[in-house]
Amino acid sequence: MTWEMWFVAAVVVAVLVILVRDVASPAATMVGAMVLVLVTGIVEPSEALAGFANPAPITVAALYILARAVEKTGALTPLIRQLLGSGEGTRRALARLVIPTGVASAFLNNTPIVAMLVPQVRSWCEENGLSPSKFMMPLSFAAILGGVITVIGTSTNIVVSGLMVNAGIEPIGFFEIGAVGIPIAIIGLLLMVALSPSVLPERRSVRYEVEGGREFVTEMRVDQDGPLDGEPVENAGLRHLSSVFLATIERGGHLIAPVTPNTILVSGDVLRFVGQVEHVVDLSDIRGLTPVASDHMSELDLPSSHYFEAVVGASSPLVGTTLRRADFRRRYQGVVVAIHRAGHLIDAKLGEVPLRVGDTLLILAEPGFGERWSDRHDFLLISEPGRTPNVTDWRAFVVGLVTAGIVVLASTGVIPILQASLLGAIILIATRALTPGEAGAAVDLDVVLLIASAFGLAAAVAKSGLGTLIAETIVDALEVFGPTGILAGILLTSTVLTGLITNNAAALLMFPIAISTAEVASVDPRSFVMAIAVGASLSFLTPIGYQTNIMVYSPGGYRFGDYARLGWPLTVASIIIFLIVAPMAWPF
């Protein structure tokens, strides 16, 4: 091995470790890797920066704008209620949910689709006495399955298509990936309808636990020299609060429990209340009590408060830190009143709980909170409990026409996907379906930067010879099984890798290896490239494998291991279908 191969291998390993351990954001990691291979001279500037001139990142950005317009105008809102029906028959309702979700996800970014449908599906479940856990995971998986039907179904497909252009290979046709994607989606949807009612557990969401009478915990501090300082609990009016009771008092590191009517309150006491979420406002109105969060954050006036649910995503800066260290109240202008994790509400000092991926925060904030943070990556905003979904208007009709126009123009080859998506974004802004500010905020710049910068690392893997070395190893190990066995190795590696790091990063790292493997095996590379796109998109085994899986984690009341119950059958079926269909669609 040359020093270039050793160096690139070290960079790739470092990237994988950083991404798996969430040491830094994927975008920052890839930019750093690109700079390293550039300054060492392994790749030329034109090769390192090729991603910034490639159509893929800009196409992804334009499609983010389209998806945001669909979400804002509620273009799918009236459809889902009609499709779900009256709740008679879980499997029938599942079919009515997952089929249109899969179809919509073939043409729109699946994250906003799931964000729109989660509150509606949850409300429908509560109205019909059904467990959300039977529907939330199928909702996410249906959106993932729909993404492999068209080239615009997921950003991963667009990334792989862009890499093919750079490699001098014909890009993916609009419906080309559907040759394997459609049978995978059909079988996957049928499996979910058949298996979900029996394999998924009967659980409730965080909202049900909090609003439906189950306990939540919030802490208030007795103000120094306030009206409650020195007063007995009974006289302070804390014994007969509606749906809330005073459980414990913490004073100087010691716990007072049970709390009697004659217990004297002292300034600095931390009072722990247990009850229903809507009565937190009652506590906030009591003079002399302040949320514990304010002892390490600035005062926050919430004259008109609303509750929001937000899931901590894999790329969130909140992962691994606490509300106190994150300065949550000052930074986000909101107060966390409950944390839900792995099917349970956390009973602890909320300000000192290290946050994890998948945690759902119940946030008390002023009404503008949702609009400010819906397009940011600090957390995935699921819903504002009790809020009626957007009512569609004439702009929803415009969004529908623009979406249809992009599909028709790109699929018929009238104009390329890049030009069609950019034209659609301009029309949406011109018709005020989105303001310029909303359009800009809708673009996930981290994803765009990740895609553009990772082209440089992919070029280094190929140019240094590392891709060829890995390819020779794969071929030597699997050539006894023929080209299909080698193809299976590429597909399985991509599937495993996307469960550990982001789907786009997995595709970008695997692409040069797949091309080199096809060359070493002396076969056409197209089926190997499609294996990268499909393997990097289909992530069913963990909640952290794909963003929509994280979004339904707490609304469905799931635990980490629940995903494998339904995920394994889908993963195995997808792999088998791909290995049967791909050699026929793209002969070796």
Q: What is the pLDDT of residues 323-368, one digit of tens each?
A: 888 888 778 877 777 787 765 667 667 778 888 877 878 777 776 7
Q: Say what angle helices 155-166 and 503-520 make with each other, to 10 degrees.
A: 40
Res 382: pLDDT:
67
Interaxial angle between packed helices 526-537 and 562-585, expressed in degrees from 0 to 180 and rounded to the nearest 10:
160
Amino acid code (one letter) for 455: F
**Is residue 454 assigned to a domain?**
no
Domain range spanning residue 334?
208-383
Instruction: Examine residue 354 and state whether it is found in any structural domain, yes or no.
Output: yes
CATH number at 225 reads 3.30.70.1450
Please, what sign has the CA dihedral across residues 579, 584, 587, 588? Answer: positive
Q: So what's the pLDDT on residue 344? A: 66
d(CA 174, CA 162): 13
pLDDT averaged over the chain?
80
Residue for token pair 């049928």: 190
Nearest to 361 by CA among 257, 210, 530: 210
Measured between alpha carbons, how far is 155 from 547 in angstroms, rounded to an integer?
Answer: 13
Token look-up 């049978």 returns 183
Model confidence at 584, pLDDT cuts 50, 70, 90, reads very high
**Residue 293, domain member (yes or no):** yes
pLDDT score of 123 more than 60: yes
Name the residue with higher pLDDT: 399 or 584.
584
Write out the H or E segment, with its range, that includes residue 244: strand 244-251
Query: What pLDDT score was predicted for residue 265?
Result: 92
Residue 344 lies in a domain: yes
pLDDT, residue 178, reads 93
Of the listed ranges 194-203, 338-347, 459-468, the one predicted with least confidence: 338-347
Identify whether 335 is part of a domain: yes
pTM to 2 decimal places: 0.70
Bridge partners, 339 (sequence order)? 361
pLDDT confidence of 302, banded at 50, 70, 90?
Answer: very low
Q: Which amino acid is residue 120, in one-letter code?
A: Q
Residue 342: what pLDDT? 63
Q: Which of 305-314, 395-404, 421-430 has the lowest mean pLDDT?
A: 305-314
Peptide bond into 543 cis (omega under 30): no
Least confident of 278-292, 423-437, 473-487, 514-528: 278-292
Question: Following DSSP, what letter does each residue of 364-379 receive, concatenated?
Answer: EE-TTHHHHHTTSSSS
Kindly state the tokens that stand for 164.
Answer: 């093919």
How many CB atoms within 10 Å of residue 580? 12
The reported pLDDT for the residue numbered 547 is 75
Confidence at residue 388, expressed as pLDDT on a 0 to 100 scale: 44
> How distant, in Å, are the alpha carbons of 40, 41, 66, 457 from that of 464?
12, 11, 39, 10
551 closest CA partner among 201, 140, 189: 140
Cα torsion for 89, 341, 356, 192, to the nearest 10°? -20
3-state secondary structure 201-214: CCCCCHHHHHHCCC
Give whichever of 200-209, 364-373, 414-423, 555-564 has the largest mean pLDDT.
Answer: 414-423
DSSP state of 264: B
**HSE (CB half, 13 Å, CA atoms) of 4?**
18
Which value, to the nearest 10 degrees, does the dihedral of the CA atoms of residues 149, 154, 158, 159 take? -130
Lowest mean per-residue pLDDT among 71-80, 231-240, 547-556: 71-80
> Which pLDDT score, from 0 to 100, does residue 305 have?
55
Q: What is the pLDDT of residues 139-194, one digit of tens each?
A: 999 999 998 999 888 888 888 998 898 888 899 988 999 999 999 999 999 999 99
Sign of the alpha-carbon torsion through 181, 183, 188, 190: positive
User: How many domains, the chain?
Assistant: 1
Contact call for residues 11 and 457 (beta carbons, < 8 A): yes
What span, in angstroms and rounded, lies between the C-alpha atoms of 195 and 201? Answer: 11
For residue 431, being part of any structural domain is answered with no
61-110 residue pLDDT tens = 888 888 778 777 766 666 666 666 665 677 888 888 888 889 888 887 77
Q: How crowded is residue 186: how many other Cβ atoms within 10 Å of its Cβ?
A: 15
- The two tokens of residue 410 are 């790109």
pLDDT, position 545: 67
Whether residue 221 is contained in a domain is answered as yes
Q: Residue 149 domain-assigned? A: no
pLDDT exceeds cutoff 70 at 491: yes
